[in-house]
Amino acid sequence: MDRDHYSRRMIDFARVARNDGDQLYSVLPELIADNRELMELGYLVPIAQPTANIVMGAIHYLLLKGVDSPVQEYYGTLTDTPRPPDDELRSHLLEFCRENREDLEDLCKTKRVQTNEVRRSIFLLPSLTYLHERIGPFQLIELGTSAGLLLNFDQYSYDYSHRDTILGSGPLVLQSEVRGTPPPLPGSWPQVIRRVGVDINPLYCHSDDDKLWLLALVWPGNLPRFNRLREALEICTSSQLELVKDDGFTNITGLLEQYSYDVPTVLYHSFAINQIHREARDKFYNDLRTYATTSGKTIYEIRNGWHPDDSIDIELRVHSPQSSETTKLADVHHHGEWISWVAP
């Protein structure tokens, strides 16, 4: 990829941040794209990783870690009264990047975008409720689990806008606007016999470094999201999540054979399958169909992510020995801000 392409990725990121109202990230990536020395960091990011997210994450990570610099004054995640981007930001940034060059280079070369958005539980819960009503207790395997925070969906509380009461008693309350038909919600949590998170590079909530990287990936203009993640990581440290390091999409057959219990298997993945290339995706679906046919078992796949037209929904795909059928469950906001249930 030519160097202009990396710069364009930075500028595109700034545009998205502007639309999202993130003051600092509307400016910071453009400052970097405009400066040859700073852009050298972007060239180090592996091609398959989103350049700007990694460079922004690397800077944020060091600041969260406590590296002292005037740059921290611009971050809403580091001060209650963040300084709006101004003429001095460029020189502060240059100085910060010069002083921390080695660490920044190392982070840019090695880190991945693994954002774990706990508020996606807002649509995972009704999807699992919908399935539980139909198939009873199940085992849950999440592909692309990151730190596995979504596997803890029954440790959070839920404030859906159409209800007067909060569901659950956990300390972290996830709020969401319900648009149109209310989603199915449980009287008691769906019964999950076993839960396993699979990731090509699992992150551990017991690791300070992994926690910091997850927090660093959150945009500094979105403090509620940052705080939500911090709380979910706290909850996670007292849970016993089973996380497995594997290429979950390529090795789906091996995983299904390994976790072959008498209860039905629910596969969940959100914003992960888009990180693999098209041939790998086709192979994943072929493997699922072949597994269902040869084992005689039905696999229930809940998939959340973008469609090629940029719409985002949540779908249930039932891979039975006879056929594969898709039901759209809901349209959703990618961070769970709202949900619009559509399944019958």
Ligand X SMILES: C[S@@+](CC[C@H](N)C(=O)[O-])C[C@H]1O[C@@H](n2cnc3c(N)ncnc32)[C@H](O)[C@@H]1O
Contacts to ligand X by CB under 6 A: 112-117, 120, 143-146, 150, 198-201, 247-249, 270-272, 275-276
Please answer whether residues 118 and 214 qualify as being in contact, where contact means their C-beta atoms are separated by less than 8 angstroms. Answer: no
Nearer to ligand X, 71 or 276 (CB): 276
Q: Which amino acid is at 30?
A: E
Structure tokens at 154: 């029954």
Nearer to ligand X, 7 or 116 (CB): 116
**Min dist. Cβ of residue 272 to ligand X (A):** 4
Rounded-to-integer distance, Cα 185 and Cα 178, Å: 12
Nearer to ligand X, 319 or 335 (CB): 335
Phi-psi region of 35 (alpha: psi -120 to 50; beta: other; left: phi over 0): beta
**Min dist. Cβ of residue 305 to ligand X (A):** 9
Nearer to ligand X, 172 or 272 (CB): 272
CA distances from 222 to 218, 272, 305, 335 (A): 7, 22, 21, 12
Q: Which residues pair with 324 in a beta bridge?
A: 319
Q: Which amino acid is at 206?
A: H
Rounded-to-integer distance, Cα 249 and Cα 141, Å: 12
Structure tokens at 166: 């909060």
Cα 83 from chain centre: 28
**Min dist. Cβ of residue 114 to ligand X (A):** 3
Q: What 3-state class would DSSP assign to 116?
A: coil
**Min dist. Cβ of residue 82 to ligand X (A):** 26
C-alpha triplet 77, 30, 218: angle, nearest 5°: 25
Nearer to ligand X, 144 or 190 (CB): 144
Please answer whether residues 97 and 104 qualify as being in contact, where contact means their C-beta atoms are separated by less than 8 angstroms. Answer: yes
**Min dist. Cβ of residue 199 to ligand X (A):** 4
Nearer to ligand X, 72 or 152 (CB): 152
Nearer to ligand X, 131 or 150 (CB): 150
Entry field: residues in the chain: 344
**Min dist. Cβ of residue 34 to ligand X (A):** 28
Closest residue to bound ligand X by CB: 144
- Residue 90: CA count within 13 A, CB half-sphere: 10
CA distances from 267 to 139, 168, 299 (A): 9, 24, 7
Nearer to ligand X, 265 or 270 (CB): 270
**Min dist. Cβ of residue 35 to ligand X (A):** 28
Q: In the 8-state DSSP scheme, what is residue 221? A: T
**Min dist. Cβ of residue 179 to ligand X (A):** 21
